Amino acid sequence: MIGFKVLLSWHYLVLFSPIFIGATNNPSFSFFLERQFTLYLTLALSFGALVGVGRFFLNRNKTAPSTLLLGAAGVLATVASALSLVTLSADMPWRIASVVLLGFSEAFLMFLWLHYYMEAAAGHLFRSFAVDMMAGGILAFLTCSFVPPLSYLVTLCMPAVATVSLIANWRTIEPVDVAARTPAVVPPRKSVLRHSLKTLLPTTVYAFVFGLLQGGFINSGVALLMAGNAVVLVGIVVAGIVIFFIPEAPETNADIDTIHRFSLLFFVLGIVGLSFLGGGGGVLLASETVILAGFNLFDFGGLILGVGLARRLKPGSLLLVDGGRVLVYMSLAVGLVVGKTVVTGLGVADPSLVLYSLCGAAITMLVATVLTPFREQEPFEAQLARMTSDPGAAAPEGAAAAKKADVASTSAVGAPAPSGAGAGTSKKAAAEPAPDAPASASRDEDAPSKPALSSKPSGEPKRADTPWRRTCRGIAELYKLSPRETEIFFLIAKGRNAEYVQQKLVISMHTAKTHIANIYHKLGVHSSQEMLSLIETFREEDIKSQEQD
């Protein structure tokens, strides 16, 4: 994942560094406003276009996008970087045109990398994104510290390195059956969109506040959040460190809430610091650094949530991630214009009063955003169960009633567990693939029969009640497995692993492993092989009992 770290570094340089912006002590502050507005708007429109046509670029029925497409994205980004550097001293129209090309190329390359992340990145998104943020921020800081033309050469190499790494990473993905990856039950598009918007709305407010401050201060002659000093980029490293040490809690969103609290703290401290610009450049530099840390905390928190949700639900839509990018960059552009308009429109004798008012309004909006329950307060897994109409989670009473109807067929099953199977929990065993199930299991379907778990819809054909099914049902009854655990037990008893369970039931990997570990603990086994031995022992006892009868 070296390429994504380099891509983030290039992204930070494009947005904030004097390498692409020029010297911030230049009195032409009108260019800085037009440049940032053009860049934000181009990024928003580019991601919006990619939401519509991106699936054709991604070649969803193949393993990866074509190498030609990936290479073209890298070449375009490199050319755009070169033109931006060449036109730093050119007339305004040429500089703005180069910014448009730079914004589109950045959006295209970021789009491809984010979708690789959704396809193949590690399950620990927090740790992965945090390390990428830290590495990208450090590399951007070091690049700004170099003396030209070395800094220019390093910057021009970044899109090429990111592209080569992306091509190499895509090739490592093994071909998979697209139909097999699709969840059995796809949540309604409206439900997914509504949940995504509730998650993204606070981020758009933070982006608007960021643009509001930037527009107001730049219009007043302060190149705010445009890194005339590379130390400002350290704020991104700080944000990465905070995210890295926050414990993940996907079932409750407590991790995202913690990120939001830290983000509010940093943002407010930075804004308060802006109110004391009379303290000198050191105060401004510290305030910019803290604000950049706060904004990146909120922005990447929303991005992590979007990527995680897209990977788990796989709803066939690009809105979860790319739609979020559209809202963020559009909010930045709108905030920039509003900040400039407010400062220009008031036109008071003392502009500092306007800036103080702007800072007060920003703090008010941030606090109100954190206090407003945009997202549902119920546990995240409960939301997914409701969205996907999960019978195991939504109809426990029907499951209990159906289980009572099966007691008679399991009365012969009562053999004790094998002596080698002791009580305990093994998380490692929950994650490793289980060997092939017995031959009698291979004829069965992937999931347990509906009557054993929940009320069955009318008109659905009955499934054959095989000896293997009766044995597994009897074990689940004897060891008091919950309806959800019974459903997962039927899957892992056939040799399925945690990843299959996660995709089949549309739950997180953490939840799947936890359920499997709980099943092992209740059965008194430590591995999949011990579990299969237990099932075989019960089946043999069942057969002997039936023969004696």
From the CB of residue 86, how many other CB atoms can be counted at a distance below 10 Å? 12
The span from the CA of 432 to the CA of 55, in Å, is 33
198's tokens: 């509730």
User: How far is CA 435 from each of CA 35, 141, 318, 473, rounded to the nearest angstrom?
Assistant: 59, 50, 36, 20
Instruction: Report pLDDT for 318.
Output: 62
- Alpha carbon 469 to chain centroid distance? 38
Phi, psi of 47 (to 5 degrees): -65, -35
272 vs 65, higher pLDDT: 272
405's tokens: 């109807």
The span from the CA of 516 to the CA of 496, in Å, is 11
Phi, psi of 227 (to 5 degrees): -65, 80
**Residue 432 pLDDT class (50, 70, 90 cuts):** very low
3-state secondary structure labels for all residues of 438-455: CHHHHCCCCCCCHHHCCC
Phi, psi of 176 (to 5 degrees): -130, 160
The span from the CA of 170 to the CA of 400, in Å, is 46
Please list the alpha-helical segments (H only) found in 314-445.
324-346, 351-371, 380-387, 391-394, 396-405, 427-431, 439-442
Within 13 A of 140's CA, how many CA atoms are on the CB side? 33
The answer to whether 203 touches 324, Cβ cutoff 8 Å, is yes
Instruction: Report pLDDT for 123.
Output: 54
Verify cis geometry, omega within 30 degrees of 0, for the bond prior to 373.
no
Within 200-324, strands assigned E span none
Least confident of 80-84, 330-334, 438-442, 520-524: 438-442
409 vs 544, higher pLDDT: 544
From the CB of residue 184, how many other CB atoms can be counted at a distance below 10 Å? 11
Mean pLDDT of the chain: 74
326 vs 275, higher pLDDT: 326
Question: What's the DSSP call for residue 415?
Answer: P
**Residue 457 pLDDT class (50, 70, 90 cuts):** very low
For the chain, domains (ranges, CATH) are 2-175+197-377 (1.20.1250.20), 388-548 (no CATH)
Q: What is the mean pLDDT of residues 420-440?
A: 38
The span from the CA of 277 to the CA of 284, in Å, is 6
Packing angle, helices 351-371 and 324-346, rounded to 10: 150
Within 13 A of 25's CA, how many CA atoms are on the CB side? 2
Phi-psi label, residue 253: left if phi above 0, alpha if psi -120 to 50, beta otherwise:
left
Instruction: Report pLDDT for 39.
Output: 94
Q: What is the mean pLDDT of residues 295-317?
A: 72
Going 310 to 313 to 317 to 320, the CA torsion angle's sign is: negative
Q: Is the pLDDT of residue 463 over 80?
A: no
SS3 content of the chain, % helix, strand, coil (to 5): 75, 0, 25
3-state secondary structure labels for all residues of 213-242: HHHHHHHCCCCCCCCCCHHHHHHHHHHHHH
Q: Is the pLDDT of residue 155 over 50?
A: yes
Q: Is the pTM of this model over 0.85?
A: no
Q: Is the pLDDT of residue 104 over 90?
A: yes
The span from the CA of 489 to the CA of 130, in Å, is 35
483's tokens: 């309806």
Instruction: Report pLDDT for 238.
Output: 93
Burial class of residue 458 (count of CB atoms within 10 Å of its CB; 0-12, 13-18, 19+):
exposed
Tell me the per-residue pLDDT of 30-87, one tens digit each, with 9 for 90 and over.
788 899 999 999 999 999 998 888 777 766 545 567 888 889 999 999 999 999 999 8
> DSSP characters for 165-186?
HHHHHHHTSPP--HHHHS-SSP
Q: Is the pLDDT of residue 382 over 50?
A: no
The answer to whether 296 touches 398, Cβ cutoff 8 Å, is no
Phi, psi of 506 (to 5 degrees): 55, 55
The span from the CA of 78 to the CA of 10, in Å, is 11
Instruction: Report pLDDT for 418.
Output: 39
Instruction: Report pLDDT for 81.
Output: 94
> DSSP characters for 499-535?
HHHHHHHT--HHHHHHHHHHHHHHHT-SSHHHHHHHH
Q: Is the pLDDT of residue 28 over 50?
A: yes
**Residue 26 pLDDT class (50, 70, 90 cuts):** low
User: How far is CA 460 from each of CA 2, 360, 450, 451, 517, rounded to the nearest angstrom?
Assistant: 51, 61, 10, 11, 32
From the CB of residue 302, how many other CB atoms can be counted at a distance below 10 Å? 27
Instruction: Report pLDDT for 272.
Output: 87
Packing angle, helices 29-58 and 189-219, rounded to 10: 160
Tell me the per-residue pLDDT of 480-529, one tens digit each, with 9 for 90 and over.
888 888 889 888 888 788 888 887 887 878 788 888 888 988 888 888 87
105 vs 421, higher pLDDT: 105
The span from the CA of 411 to the CA of 44, in Å, is 64
Going 504 to 509 to 515 to 519, the CA torsion angle's sign is: positive
**Residue 458 pLDDT class (50, 70, 90 cuts):** very low
